[in-house]
Amino acid sequence: MQRLRLGFPVRHYIVLRKMLVENSLVAVVSLPAGCFNPYSGVKTSILLLDKSLARQSDTIAFFKVENDGFGLGAQRRAFDKNDLPQVQA
């Protein structure tokens, strides 16, 4: 499970609270570290926001992508494993 980073500015807490209280957070897609190599090697999560979809459900979907179809090294060479089509469905 991902944790929120402690010590970030109060405005981040305000934005997070607003997303949860106003029911606009629909899903979280967790991408592996290195997904944006060579530009950035940090782990990234994508937040999907949609007020109308969020009102239709009382749950938030979480997806963990371990393979995006490319190696996580600096060269980012293509290979067969790809979890993105499963997240899309």
Q: Give residue 19's Cα distance to chain centre.
A: 14
Residue 14 lies in a domain: yes
Q: What is the pTM of this model?
A: 0.66
- CA angle (69, 70, 76) in 5-degree steps: 165
Q: Of 67, 59, 4, which is closest to residue 27 (Cα–Cα)?
A: 59
The bridge status of strand 78-82 relative to strand 61-64 is: unpaired
Does residue 4 fall inside a structural domain?
A: no
42: its two tokens? 């940090």
3: in domain: no
Q: How many domains does the chain have?
A: 1
Separation between Cα atoms, residue 29 and residue 63, nearest integer Å: 5
Domain containing 77 equals 10-88
The one-digit pLDDT tens for each residue of the chain (89 residues) are 455 555 567 777 777 777 777 778 888 888 888 787 777 778 888 888 888 888 888 888 888 887 776 777 677 777 788 777 777 65
